[in-house]
Amino acid sequence: MYDTEMTDSPGREFYGRSDVIARLRAQLDSVQRTGAGRIVGVRGRRQVGKSTAVERFVQSAGVPYVFAVGTLGASSRAQVDDATRALAESTRPLPGTGALAGARVPGWREWLGAIEQAAESGPVIAVVDEFPWAADADPSLEGTLQNVWDRRLERLPVLLVLIGSDVTMMERLGEYGRPLFGRIRPFRIEPLNPAEVGHALTAATPTDVFDAYLITGGYPRLVADLGDSGQDPAAYVREAMRDLYSPLVSTARFTLDAEFPDGQAAERVLAAIGSDETTTPRFNDLIPAGVDATERTRLQTATTRALRTLIDEKRLVERDVPAWASDKGRLRRYRVADPYLRFWFRYIGRDVERIARGRGDLVAQRFDRDWSSWRGRSIEPVVREAILRLAIDDDRLDGVEAVHAWWARDGRAEVDVVATTAERTAVVGTIKWRPDGTVTRREIDQLRAATAFVPRSAHAVLAAVSPEVGPTVGADLVFGAADLLSAWRA
């Protein structure tokens, strides 16, 4: 069913990332044009394909490069030795570094000095992947880099690319008070978007593409595994749930272990949000029964702190509020921002032990029971993002600046899509993610009635969203899966 070529595997076509490579190419073009150096800080979660995209860029750039990789837990001495070996392993070595093959460079200052000497001959690229691990081993590395950069490298044609999966640390590299403040250009690599997933799964229908996106989150390794399986997304899930070491089951664990090596409270909160039906989990349920008041207070504080970390620092959780409501209001909902982790916590995280005991069939049965209803809820933020993207060029959405859901405090009414301009509600919509594409007259009437509760909606038009556009009675606008997918192709 699917084209099996995908990123991250030898001999496969490199899908997606054209925007990433173009942006890196623009940075190199500036270095070549001006002769001045640039530092680019590339960040993104583990498994999103940062290293693959950057490596593909340096291999195609046509200038000498070195691609060094930091090692978790290694000493500073070992990190420098590995970086020195990388000079000799490059397929397009830096000029003048051949003599360093097998040599022991004293430290990072001298390693950067070799980059400096090479750049005297023309433009070069130097990459340090997993830079946070190298910096952990040598707390003076940032300061050393700043010193060498200010003294010489920034006046030479050097593109220095620092890559890290510790998103928070990589963001803080450029903060005021840090050595690289004012010197580093931030660059974030996200998972594949729905259109890129569709590019990889060339024979998939638009509806299947969105199913694949909800399951894989656009992680290249998972998209490749799904493509290799030759199955539709649901069949792929059923088979993967029978194998503890399948990428679908194991990848989330790698990500969580990297994000929270000691953060049990944060992972408990993340699991509560990810597995909850209502998106308003009762965090007090995370506190064991029978603890005394002092311990309860401590655990409540830890939970609050963990939630703040997940939202503000890790950005693994989104806090949603109704359209027109204040971001600081108490009427809020939480959801796991990453579609794959949202799927994993819902269907796999709680049942890893069952899969390990060979009872993945039971996990697959639960998936079959509520996949249809769960994907109908999980697709909603994706639909809202698509409509916001479409508003850039779609005259029917002229002036739309934000797209949210809306719900009443008392539960009397809820609307899936509320698209707003600066002054008014332009569109209210209902999402019915049914394969047959039918939105009934009764559902449109219910939407019309709910519109009376939505602020500033006196002149709003009605929209219906479903996978396959079918008979839709009474809606002013209709969006099918193909329409939504085009939002990422523009």
Question: Which residue reads 């001959």 in tokens?
Answer: 121
Q: What is the mean pLDDT of residues 470-481?
A: 86
Q: What does the pLDDT read at residue 36?
A: 96
CA distance 14 to 5: 8
pLDDT beyond 50 at 377 = yes
Average pLDDT over residues 215-229: 95
Amino acid 308: pLDDT: 87
- Averaged over 104-125, what is the pLDDT? 94
For the domain spanning 380-488, the CATH number is 3.40.1350.10
Mean pLDDT computed over every residue of the chain: 89
Interatomic CA distance for residues 260 and 262, integer angstroms: 5
**Residue with the larger pLDDT of the pair 302 and 168:** 302
- Average pLDDT over every residue of 253-266: 76
pTM comes to: 0.87
Pick from 24-33, 44-53, 366-375, 414-423: least confident: 44-53
Q: What is the pLDDT of residue 232?
A: 95
Report the pLDDT value the prediction gives residue 5, as an integer from 0 to 100. 32
Q: Where in the chain is the domain with CATH 3.40.1350.10?
A: 380-488
Question: Collapsing DSSP states into helix, strand and coil, what is residue 350?
Answer: helix
pLDDT of amino acid 278: 52
Query: How confident is residue 262, by pLDDT bands cut at 50, 70 and 90?
Result: low
163: phi then psi, degrees, rounded to nearest 5: -115, 140
pLDDT at 451 over 80: yes
What's the rounded Cα separation, in Å, for the pair 210 and 482? 10
Answer whether residue 3 shows pLDDT above 70: no
Residue 279 confidence class, pLDDT cut points 50, 70, 90: low
Kindly state the average pLDDT of the residues 230-249. 96
Whole-number pLDDT of residue 299: 80
Indicate the range of 2-16, 280-294, 295-309 predicted with least confidence.
2-16
* Span of 157-166, 209-218, 250-259, 354-363 with lowest mean pLDDT: 250-259
Measured distance CA(148)–CA(111) in Å, rounded: 10
Whole-angstrom Cα distance, residue 144 to residue 247?
39
Comparison of pLDDT for 314 and 66, the residue scoring more? 66
Scored b (16 or more CB within 10 A) or e, 321-340 reads: bbbebeeeeeeebbbbbbbb
CATH class of 18-188: alpha beta
Gap between the Cα atoms of 264 and 306, Å rounded: 9
pLDDT of residue 45: 84
Q: Which two tokens stand for residue 13?
A: 């076509």
Phi, psi of 73 (to 5 degrees): 80, -5
Q: Is the pLDDT of residue 11 over 60?
A: no
What are the C-alpha distances in Å from 198 to residues 12, 50, 193, 388, 486? 16, 20, 9, 20, 10
Is the pLDDT at 434 greater than 90? The verdict is no
Whole-number pLDDT of residue 243: 95
Contact of 344 with 253, CB cutoff 8 Å: no
Q: List where CATH 3.40.50.300 sits in the chain.
A: 18-188
